[in-house]
Amino acid sequence: MPKKRNNAEQIVTKLRQIEMLVAQGRTIGQTCKEAEISEQSYDRWRNEYGGLEIEQAKRFKELERENARLKRLVADLSLEKQILKDVAEGAEGQRS
């Protein structure tokens, strides 16, 4: 059975539902089973998304994606710079 991926809004919604059920006296294990997630996922999500509203979670994920894109861009530019530097040093060595 393939893993089901939840987006940020779904995660925040599930966390809120679990919190409400726990406040009504259910255990974390029961509520996680009903939400079809493991307790490990609940703990991980709570650490990452706990206290966030749905819109904040969306923005958080957008910023994570943008950060990853910018890191790739910096890595690409650093590689290009190093290549140009190596080519320039090679050209100087041939002139001498």
Domain residue ranges of the chain, discontinuous segments joined by +: 8-95
pTM of the complete model beyond 0.85 = no
pLDDT digits (tens, 9 = 90+) for 43-76: 999 888 877 777 887 888 889 899 999 999 999 9
Cα(96)–Cα(90) distance, rounded to whole angstroms?
10
pLDDT digits (tens, 9 = 90+) for 17-49: 998 999 999 999 999 999 999 999 999 998 888
Which of 57, 40, 43 is CA-nearest to residue 3? Answer: 40
State both tokens at 3.
Answer: 């893993």
